Amino acid sequence: MVRFQCEFHLFLTSSTGRSDFDRIFPLHNSADLASLPHDTRLRRVVVDYLQTGGDLRSGGSLLLAKDLDRENQVYQS
């Protein structure tokens, strides 16, 4: 799976990060980071990141047909 993901070009999208926050912490307010649940590793890492001044961003990926080697695709091996 990781080898397949290496085929993609990553890019930033216009985002406030709110949708990512809402997916990770549904029904919670981002104003009080100390009250957010720490019940999963993902939540703990995100809270720690936000508490040190980090901000959430969204991105996308693009796989270009011209970049694929049709006879030797990494993800088919």
Domain ranges of the chain: 1-16+57-77, 18-56
Amino acid 69: pLDDT: 66
Q: Is the pLDDT score of 72 beyond 90? A: no
In three-state secondary structure terms, 35 is helix
Report if pTM > 0.85.
no
pLDDT higher than threshold 60 for residue 17? yes
pLDDT in tens, 18-64: 788 888 999 887 778 889 999 999 999 999 999 999 988 888 888 87
φ, ψ at 71 (rounded to 5°) = -95, -15
* pLDDT of res. 77: 45
Whose CA is closest to 58, among 25, 13, 4? 13
Model confidence at 74, pLDDT cuts 50, 70, 90, reads: low
pLDDT for the residue 47: 94
